[in-house]
Amino acid sequence: MSQLKYKRILLKLSGEALNGGNKEKIIDFDILNQYAREIKTIKDVGVEIAIVIGGGNIFRGAEIEKSGIDRAQGDYMGMLATVINGMAVQSSLEKQGMFTRMMSAINMEAVAEPVIRRRAIRHLEKGRVVVFGAGTGNPYFTTDTAGSLRAIEINADVVLKGTRVDGVYTADPEKDPTATKYDRVTFDDALTQKLKIMDTAAFALCRENNLPIIVFDMNKPGNLLKLVMGENVGTLVCNE
């Protein structure tokens, strides 16, 4: 534990991460179980872990507005999708022998506890993995914002944003072969260069609270453990 750089982390995953980019699947259980094994590796060395996951593999509120459904209604539907994903993640973690708690920003006592800051911190201190669902509980906010908010609330050391690419690039590396990767970038430079890391509200929360973000490839085995041990993996976004 003395070798850990980050003792308490907030892991932010997109809903699309759970289907591996395959739109024909809602959840790829091979990927889900792989993530659970990776999370267990850092749990075993003493890291306190909270998770926020999106719901884009099931439903995206911002897109449904085009169909005529009210945006706020669509966002609430999206929040419920994050709870479904959270329950899947919770079950997969428990299969790996971890103790967990699911907390929801929308009251649904049958499946999750309400989000209570002090209770969440106590769960982490007792070695439980906390999965936060239903975003912030409010429409018009993304799960990126929820991830930043929950990280600040629980006094996390860092936000780890797991993606399908190995960091932040000057352009989309899947579309532009000339794109180059940043090892480190400041919040101000990322805003100036309009780098797509998180939405503006999430980004502002991290910058104002001096909470670093690391964007990394969650699909590469071992990356999560390397990160918490302080190795240079992905792209660090910070104030300095």
Q: Per mean pLDDT, which range of 59-68, 134-143, 192-201, 214-223 is the poorest? A: 59-68
Alpha-carbon distance of 168 to 152, in angstroms, equals: 22
Tell me what pLDDT residue 2 has: 55
Nearby residues of 79 by Cβ (< 8 Å), 6 or more positions away: 55, 61, 105, 106, 133, 134, 135, 137
| pLDDT of amino acid 76 | 93
Closest CA to 227 of 1, 9, 80: 9
CATH number at residue 99: 3.40.1160.10
| pLDDT score, position 20 | 78
Tell me the C-alpha distance between 103 and 7, whole Å: 21
Q: For residue range 161-201, what is the model confidence (pLDDT) as tens digits?
A: 998 889 999 888 878 888 899 999 999 998 888 888 888 89
pLDDT at 66 (0 to 100): 72
The helix-helix angle for 143-153 and 200-208 (nearest 10°) equals 20
pLDDT the model gives residue 61: 64
Give the tens place of pLDDT for each residue, 147-159. 999 999 999 999 9
What whole-number distance in Å separates Cα of residue 221 and Cα of residue 91? 20
Whole-model pTM: value is 0.94
Which two three-digit tokens encode residue 11?
Answer: 């892991």
Residue 2 lies in a domain: no
Q: Check residue 84 and give its pLDDT.
A: 96
* For the chain, percent of residues with pLDDT exceeding 90: 75
Residue 63 has pLDDT above 70, yes or no: no
Q: Which residues form the domain of 41?
A: 8-238
Residue 125 to residue 116: CA distance in whole angstroms? 14
How many whole angstroms separate alpha carbon 19 and alpha carbon 2? Answer: 36
Average pLDDT over residues 213-223: 95
Q: What is the pLDDT of residues 15-37, one digit of tens each?
A: 988 887 777 789 999 999 999 99
Domain count for the chain, please give it: 1
Share of the chain above pLDDT 70, in %: 98
Q: Which pLDDT belongs to residue 62?
A: 60
- CB count within 10 Å of CB 97 equals 10
**Within a domain: residue 151?**
yes
Residue 157: predicted pLDDT = 98
Q: Would you say residue 1 has pLDDT above 60?
A: no
**Mean pLDDT score across all residues of the chain:** 92
Question: Which pLDDT belongs to residue 170?
Answer: 87
Alpha helix (H) residue ranges in the chain: 29-43, 61-64, 71-95, 117-125, 143-153, 187-192, 200-208, 223-228
pLDDT of 60 = 72
Asked whether residue 16 is assigned to any structural domain, the reply reads yes
pLDDT of residue 4: 92
**pLDDT confidence of residue 43:** 97
